[in-house]
Amino acid sequence: MNILIIGDVYGDVGKEMISLYLNRIKEDYNIDFLIINGENISKGKGMSLSDYDFLKQYNTDVITMGNHIWFRNDILRYIKHNKEVLKPLNLPRYTPGEGSILFNVKGLKVRVTSIIGRVFMFDFANNQFEAMDDLLEHDTSDIHIVDFHGEATSEKIGFAKNYDGRLTALYGTHTHVQTSDSRFLPEGTAFICDVGMTGPFDGIIGADQEAVLHKMKTNMPARFVQSNTEGQFNAWVLEINEKTKKVSKHHTISITPQKKYEKQ
């Protein structure tokens, strides 16, 4: 079983890169299951109904979200009825939506869970360890993939280490820069700190640099807008042995204006 994971898709340039490369990559890697983080897809913040429809036209199986989940009111109209759109599991239980979902893929039970970090993130998120422990207590999945949407690499690594051997794979989103630490942890869980962004290459993690630099230099409010520079496409591919239900191989995909697409 081959699973393709795409990190934060950012704005119009991100959608353009999806249109250019996704179908080709799915075919080249014989992808059975597709997970995309959609929390930045609508001009950098949130996911509108039209952009949800855009991702679904590529047969996206799961759309994970993050700290911008409630930025657009559209999501409140469809998240209750579209279970494949995941809020972070450790948000207050009174918020709409599900934080984890179970699929049947090629006869195996595949679970995808969304988690949000608390370091430099939501101050009202619940303890992510408590949320995961509660979920695992009754989990019957064969394969469990977790999107950890967080700012601090230490928090992502700590969480992954705590559940090493109990999760099939854990990957980070939110920081938008693909890390070079794709690896197996000691007990077999596949891990990467951040899958990377699919969106503008020469902005500042997706946003136009002028407003970002103005805020950095002056500490004054600034309205960030999506960058319209050339695009990049970042992803993580997991090859899972259907007998052992473990990741047998994993590798990253990184396409930039300087690095053209080549199947590994």
Domains of the chain (ranges, CATH numbers): 2-255 (3.60.21.10)
Structure confidence by residue, pLDDT tens digits, 151-167: 999 999 999 999 999 99
Closest C-alpha to 158, from 144, 145, 139, 172: 172
The predicted model gives 230-252 an average pLDDT of 97
Distance CA 40, CA 51 (A): 10
Task: Find how far residue 152's CA is from the centre of its chain.
Answer: 15
The answer for residues whose C-beta is within 8 angstroms of residue 97's C-beta and 6 or more apart is 79, 80, 85, 86, 87
Tell me, yes or no, if 214 is annotated catalytic.
no
For the chain, the straight-line distance linking the first and the last C-alpha, in angstroms and rounded, comes to: 17
Q: Where are the beta strands (DSSP E) in the chain?
A: 2-6, 33-37, 62-64, 85-86, 100-105, 108-116, 143-149, 169-173, 183-184, 190-192, 199-200, 231-241, 246-255
Cα 165 to Cα 155, 232, 239: the distances in Å are 18, 32, 17
Beta carbons of 184 and 192 less than 8 angstroms apart:
no
Closest C-alpha to 107, from 141, 63, 58, 61: 141
Tokens of 120: 């430099």
At 121 the pLDDT is: 86
pTM confidence score: 0.96
Structure confidence by residue, pLDDT tens digits, 179-228: 999 999 999 999 999 999 999 999 899 999 998 998 999 999 888 888 99
Beta carbons of 130 and 159 less than 8 angstroms apart:
no
Share of the chain above pLDDT 70, in %: 100
Residue 245 Ramachandran class (φ > 0 left, ψ -120 to 50 alpha, else beta)? left
* Mean pLDDT, the chain, integer: 96
β-strand partners of 199: 232
Kindly report the CA angle at 146 between 256 and 3, in degrees rounded to 5? 55
Residue type, 27: E
Q: What pLDDT band is residue 252 in, cutting at 50, 70 and 90? A: very high
Distance CA 212, CA 33 (A): 36
